[in-house]
Amino acid sequence: MKLSGEQVLSAPRERVWDLFNNPERLSKLIPGCEKLDVLGPDEYGGTINVGVASVKGIYSGKLKLEDKRAPEHYKMVVDGKGKQGFMRGSGTLDLEAKDRNLTVVKYNGDVQIGGPLVQVGQRVIDSAAKMMLGQFFAAADAELKAEAAGTVARQGIFINFWRWLVRLLSGK
Amino acid sequence: MFPASFEYHRASSVKEALAMLQQYGEDGKILAGGHSLIPMMKLRLAQPAHLVDIGGIRQLASIREEGGKVIIGGLVTHHAVERSDVVRAKLGMLSECAAVIGDTQVRNRGTIGGSLAHADPAADYPAAVLALDGEIKIEGTGGSRVVKADDFFIDLMTTAVQPGEVLTEVAFAPVASGAGFTYLKHRQPASGFAMVGVAALLTLDKKGNCDRVRVGITGLGAKPFRAKAVEAALLGKAPAPAIAAAAAHAADGIDPLSDIHASADFRAELARVYTRRALETAAARAKA
Amino acid sequence: MAVIPKFVGERIKRREDPRLITGTGMYVDDVRLPGMLSAVVLRSPHAHAKINSIDLSKARALKGVVCVLSGDDLRDKVGPVPCVAPADHVPYHPVLAQGKVRFVGEGVAVAVASSPYIAQDALDLIDVDYDPLDAVVDPEKALEPGAPVLHEEFGNNSVTFASVPNPAVDEAMRKADKIIKARLVNQRLAPIPMEPRGAVARWDGGYKQLTVWSSTQIPHLLRSQLAEMLKVGENRIRVIAPEVGGGFGCKLNVYAEEALVAHLSMTLGKPVKWIERRRENFAGTTHGRDQITYLEVAALKDGTVTAVKAHFVCDMGAYLQLLTPAIPGFSGLMMTGCYKIPALSFDQQMVFTNKMSTDAYRGAGRPEACYIAERVMDMVAAEFGLDPADVRRKNFIPKEAFPAPTAGGLVYDSGDYELSLNKALEIVGYQKVRAEQEAARKQGRYIGIGIASYVEICGIGPSALLPPKLKGGGWESATIRMEPDCKVTVLTGVSPHGQGQETTFAQIVADELGIDIDDVNVVHGDTAVVQYGIGTFGSRGTTVGGPALMMSVGKLQEKMKKIASTMMEVPPDQLIFTNRTVALASDPSKSIPLQQVVDAAYGYKQPIPGVEPGLDATSFYEPQNCTFPFGTHVAVVEVDPETGVVKFLRYVAVDDCGRILSPLLVEGQVHGGIAQGIAQALYEEVVYDESGQLLTATLMDYAVPKAHMLPRYELSATVTPSPVNVLGVKGVGEAGTIGSTPCVVSAVMDALKPFGIRHIDMPLKPEKVWRAIRDAQQKG
């Protein structure tokens, strides 16, 4: 199955890059993922509990990042399996700064899905993959926005604190 | 075909079903007609620990008229919808649609609530329910709410029904007299599902121009949808010359499904052709 | 006393049906034995992978689990799954994978438990560590250098290369007005019997007796092969084929699971049952067809075809099942069809791919051949602007030429091909339909008329035609026993599973012995009861089993006549059997009741010189030739150019299966056959993705046609008896399948003629037709 497309995320490229390289934060964005364990440099392991409608399953696997060129490119190699099927494949992720606060994420992957899952669900498997990809990017965008908002908020607190301090010190 | 072990619970009321769903949380799953769930369980692709069978809740299995609306319980079978005099008289398209779902066995067991809640991207009903502006009633422990068909289908097999809730009924305003409608489908030859299904309904004003157009399309994308570009292109116009151009918009903005039975571009073409044909039939049946 | 009527030729309802439609028949899954265990097989999700390790410990620990085994546990304990057909490379085919898996669905482990639910739970606990390898599913790519190799010991994926050269072909090509080239594909199909496979085994240790119930078409051949796989004497194995819910060739085989349950029962000392699930059936029961043919046809302007040359690429799948590499041979030999094409040459490259094995499927090689021959006729007609019916007439073997030797080295027994073509065209109203087609085209409607004249091989056949390693030959056996109460038991070596020989054979025997059809009981499918027989396949039940029965009937009649002759004091050759009597042929009123003759044979109170007591006879009939049924099918279809949908307007079938014994059964066979042939033309296709995943693994994705997808059949027949056998029958089990596929393709192509489209590969799904039209319009 070929998966390619692009998605615009509301954050500067460096911040997107940071997010996509942080297993702890990344794990929260992957649908059904509870935790990513660091197995080695740029190599993670984990379990996801995902599905569509009544078809749900637990898959465990590995995720490896290769050909890293910060902050614009890496290749992701995935290998996972569960009782209902397996997934193997790789894809590239390219980040382009659209403007100061927008990043275009271009993805291009080829995954092989096998086992009962695809033998029974061939007609919806592409859509299911696209849906999960959509969920991932939506979560990523929300996370980036929250991060930005958090920073702004922290800045706000800081400015207020500064003003308060200035007032206090100036005795006004 | 041996499912993993599960516990079976039979609910005698919606309230009881909701309590059970709350108790079992993610491990619980509603069983209605079972036509989608049970095959998945037999293949062990679905392994719910608890099945809450709502099949015994008789009040969900009736069709009634109330407040000027036709209300169809979630457990009404496709066959019952097809044969209901009330549905035939007031919601002809729904009856027409029910008659071409699957095969006889499926129509005898499958339910309207099950079909809508499961939201298979190739199911027939959603197209008709969208075109008929159905209103879907969802009950939860906190009370009930009504969702318009337009807002009901969210994504692939994902609807407004949240975990712990039950789809209890679908309400429709009767189709205006003089309206023309039809449901046309291109069958996937193995499953009988809609490769593309188009529900078209239109009414004409005194001048013979379309004053209401509804086109619901299933099978094309990850979720059923109303082809609003088609509707808009036809509204206020005389059907005959405008239908062909309007139908050309049937697949606009949709990322069509693609599988071994039909590629994305063939599905899109089927959607355009069937939309045109469905609208032509609807127009021919409509009375100004 | 009421007169007993004649039964042969009458429209008699199948005597098998009441028990089948009231649920009182017994299939393998109905076998329930005390202490019986259930076996479930874990299957590979990978098309090609190395097995690093298999952890069975958790599965073995589950409560209720009796035994869990993987391929390594069975090394040297159960012999390989057999292939008896010759091939250069016959790989070792273990009953459960050893070290490597080569197709999705290959058995990897088996769990035996007190219930199938627990056995299935155990499978979920088995952890297999696979190392996935690249897979190859396209047989042409499998031949390319660098392709993944399935069986390393062979170095490449070639099974066998067979060549039948003929210098006359090159000569004809030089002299041809036109050489037409084409690439034709007979896609892979799944046989889909209504009852999947299944087997139950019971080992009675005290008696050293193994009983195997299996849903098989070949109980005796299965017994022979199991004896070899399990190292048990054939006299210690009883194979029972109970009710078998269809086979279509896929049960003309010996499968891993049959030996597996037998081995398990022998080691566990308890009966073991395995029942195939539909998804397993799609993945792990043999498929059919899957041949690519590169054709060169030498033709003259008048439509005469002077030579055909073909290169076949035949997909065998990952392993060779019982007859896998033998099937394509028929496609080559029969490629000249009903036509007097003087020169034929072909070669066949058979290939391993990461898919389920192919093997016999209804028609087995002849549908492919007929498809090629009929596409050739249509292409020649299109090339020279001739009427396709005329091109066929031009090339037909004339009726005076029979017995007719063919370019493929066969001798067709009898035929009148033009008669069947003319009759079919007359029924359809050919000229009128052509006029309607013309008128429709002017209105932008696309009607097509398709013709297919087929001939096929049945009643296989002379034993020399069968693979040398096959335990049995092409003969068949029958025993007839007149019981002491004047009722008759027939034991036939064929193994009907829907063909209806319980009816046909009873009709024959009743007429020959002058008794009622209800007086005859036809028994089959039990090796402990029935003498060695070959089984049911290749439309041989009545064509080979029937003459064997006639031989035994003759022997029995002879004996009864001898007895009656001493009682009636008339020469035996003046006696006939009628109305439950033995009567004088010249004056049937002079008779004695049959019962008196039977009493004399069994009671034997007065010894009859030269006649032993008892009344039974056994015969083994070796046919001298095959039979060659033929016919013409004509379809009228309309193609919707906007959607590519093909709609049937008419379907006429004129079949000639020789003498018709049971018209209702013949029609039933033709109906089912046409349905399966139309399915190949329009609907069915086994699809594997590039990585070898099977995408048509359920009936939701594999399009077996429903009634509404099929036309109303207009059936007719011509009757050209076969000189090969005493009954004059030719066989009808596969005819419908063979004629209908090219007929429908021909009709669709005829409809698309205005677009300049000459060929689309099957199945002619709406999308393919639509795309061809769109591409043609864009080019035009």
Chain B contact probe: residue of C646, C767, C773, C777 with most B CBs at under 10 A: C767
pLDDT digits (tens, 9 = 90+) for A97-156: 998 899 999 999 999 999 988 888 888 888 888 888 999 999 999 999 998 887 655 555
SS3 assignment, position C14: coil
User: What percent of chain B clears pLDDT 90, i.e. is strictly above it?
Assistant: 97
Test mutation, C38, C700, C773, C774, chain B, max B CBs within 10 A:
C700
- φ, ψ at B136 (rounded to 5°): -105, 125
Amino acid at B257: L
Please state which of the four CATH numbers 3.30.43.10, 1.10.3470.10, 3.30.420.10, 1.10.3720.10 is assigned to the domain occupying B7-53: 3.30.43.10
Give the domain CATH number at A83: 3.30.530.20
Please tell me the distance from the alpha carbon of residue A69 to that of residue C614, in angstroms, as a whole number. Answer: 94
Taking an 8 Å cut-off on Cβ atoms, the answer to whether B255 and A134 are in contact is no
Go through chain C and tell me how many residues it has: 780
Say whether A127 and B121 touch across the interface (CB within 8 A): yes
Separation in Å, CA of A85 to nearest CA in chain B? 10
Confidence at B1, pLDDT banded by 50, 70, 90: confident
* Contacts A–C by Cβ distance under 8 A: 36
| Chain C residues touching B190 at Cβ < 8 A | 683, 699-704
CATH 3.90.1640.30 is right for the domain spanning B58-172: no
Q: How far is C148 from chain B (nearest CA, A)?
A: 25
- Determine which of A122, A123, A125, A126 to mutate to test the interface with C (most C C-beta atoms within 10 Å): A122
Choose from C279, C693, C694, C698 for mutation: most chain A CBs within 10 A: C693
Note whether A126 contacts B: Cβ–Cβ < 8 A.
yes
DSSP per position, A41-110: TTEEEEEEEEEETTEEEEEEEEEEEEEEETTTEEEEEEEEEETTEEEEEEEEEEEEEEETTEEEEEEEEE
Chains touching chain B, criterion 3+ CB pairs below 8 Å: A, C
Domain range spanning residue A11?
2-170
Structure confidence by residue, pLDDT tens digits, C171-181: 999 999 999 99
SS3 C356: coil
Contacts 24+ apart (CB under 8 A), B67-72: B68/B173, B68/B174, B69/B171, B69/B172, B69/B173, B69/B174, B70/B171, B70/B172, B70/B173, B70/B174, B71/B169, B71/B170, B71/B171, B71/B172, B72/B112, B72/B169, B72/B170, B72/B171, B72/B172
Which of C40, C683, C687 is facing B189, going by the closest CB pair? Answer: C683
Report residue C101 as tokens: 């898996």
DSSP H helical segments within chain B, as ranges?
14-24, 37-42, 78-83, 85-90, 92-98, 104-109, 112-118, 125-131, 149-152, 228-234, 239-247, 264-285
Q: Given B4, B190, B262, which is nearest C702 (Cβ)?
A: B190
C709 contacts in B (CB within 8 Å)? Answer: 189
Contact (CB<8Å) C700/B190: yes
CB contact under 8 A, C767 and B103: no
Rounded to a whole number of angstroms, the distance from the CA of B36 to the nearest CA of chain A is 9
ipTM of the complex: 0.96
- Which residues of chain C make contact with B43, given a CB cutoff of 8 A? 279
Q: Which residue has the higher pLDDT, B43 or A169?
A: B43
Residue C115 dihedral angles phi and psi, to the nearest 5°: -145, 155
Q: What gap in Å lies between CA C683 and CA C760, rounded to an integer?
A: 14
The angle at the Cα of C232, spanning C227 to C237, to the nearest 5 degrees, equals: 70
Who's near C85: CB < 8 A, 6+ residues apart?
C320, C322, C323, C324, C325, C326, C467, C469
How far C190 CA lies from chain B's nearest CA (Å)? 13
Task: Work out the burial of residue C455: count CB atoms within 10 Å of its CB; fewer than 13 is exposed, 13-18 middle, 19 or more buried.
Answer: buried
pTM of the complete model: 0.95
Number of domains in chain A: 1
Whether the Cβ atoms of residue C441 and residue C716 lie closer than 8 Å to each other: no
Determine the residue of chain A that is closest to C127 in CA distance: A83
Query: Quick one: CA torsion of C53, C57, C58, C61, rounded to 10 degrees?
Result: 160
pLDDT tens digits for range C59-108: 999 999 999 999 999 999 999 999 999 999 999 999 999 999 999 999 99
- Cross-chain residue pair C40–B4, CB shorter than 8 Å: no
How close C95 gets to chain B, by Cα (Å)? 22
Q: Do B257 and A123 touch (CB under 8 A)?
A: yes
In CATH, the architecture of B180-285 is 2-Layer Sandwich (3.30)
**pLDDT of A165 over the 70 cut:** no
Chain C residue nearest residue A125, CA to CA? C695
Q: Which residues of chain A lie closer than 8 angstroms to B259, CB-CB?
A: 122-124, 126
What residues of B are in contact with residue C117 (Cβ under 8 Å)? 2-3, 5
Residue of A nearest to B29 (CA): A54
A114 in reach of chain C (CB within 8 A): yes
The number of C-alpha atoms within 13 Å of C437 and in the hemisphere containing its C-beta is 25
pLDDT attached to residue A161: 59
Q: Which of C46, C124, C701 has the CB atom closest to A114's CB atom?
A: C46
CB contact under 8 A, B43 and C701: no
pLDDT reported for residue A123: 86
**B96 pLDDT higher than 50:** yes
pLDDT at residue A162 above 80?
no
Point out the residue among A55, A123, A124 whose CB comes nearest to the CB of B46: A55
Residue of C nearest to A79 (CA): C132
Please give the full DSSP string across C470-522, using - where no structure is assigned. -SS-S-EEEEEEE-TTS-EEEEESS--SSS-HHHHHHHHHHHHHT--GGGEEE
Contact B45 A117 (CB under 8 A): yes
Chain B residues within an 8 Å CB radius of C643: 186, 270, 273
Contact A120 C693 (CB under 8 A): no
DSSP state of C400: G
Give the whole-angstrom CA distance, residue C326 versus residue C329: 6
**Residues in Cβ contact with C64 at an 8 Å cutoff, skipping those fewer than 6 apart:** C113, C114, C115, C118
**Cα(A24)–Cα(A34) distance, integer angstroms:** 10
pLDDT on residue A172: 47
Segment 27-66 of chain A within 8 Å of chain B by CB: 52-57
Q: Do B261 and C765 touch (CB under 8 A)?
A: yes
User: Which residues 28-67 of C are in CB contact (within 8 Å) with A?
Assistant: 45-47
- Distance CA(C401)–CA(C407), nearest Å, equals 14
Query: pLDDT band for position A159 (50/70/90)?
Result: low
- pLDDT, tens digit, for every residue of B163-186? 999 999 999 999 999 999 999 999
- For residue B150, give how far its alpha carbon lies from the nearest alpha carbon of chain C (Å): 29
Domains along the sequence of chain C with CATH? 17-23+475-621 (3.30.365.10), 31-133+194-246+251-284 (3.90.1170.50), 364-458+626-779 (3.30.365.10)
Residue C457: closest CA among C363, C324, C358: C363
In angstroms, the CA B268 to CA B273 distance is: 9
Whether residues C124 and A83 touch (CB distance < 8 A) is answered with: yes
Do residues A10 and A148 touch, judged by C-beta distance below 8 A? yes
Q: Which residues of chain C have pLDDT under 50?
A: none
C764: nearest CA in chain B? B261
Query: Is C634 in contact with C425 (CB distance < 8 Å)?
Result: yes
Residue A121 in contact with partner chain B when CB distance is under 8 A: yes
**Mean pLDDT for all residues in chain A:** 86
Q: Which chains touch C (3 or more CB pairs under 8 A)?
A: A, B
pLDDT in tens, B188-205: 999 999 999 999 999 999
- Which residue does chain A place closest to C44, by CA atoms? A115
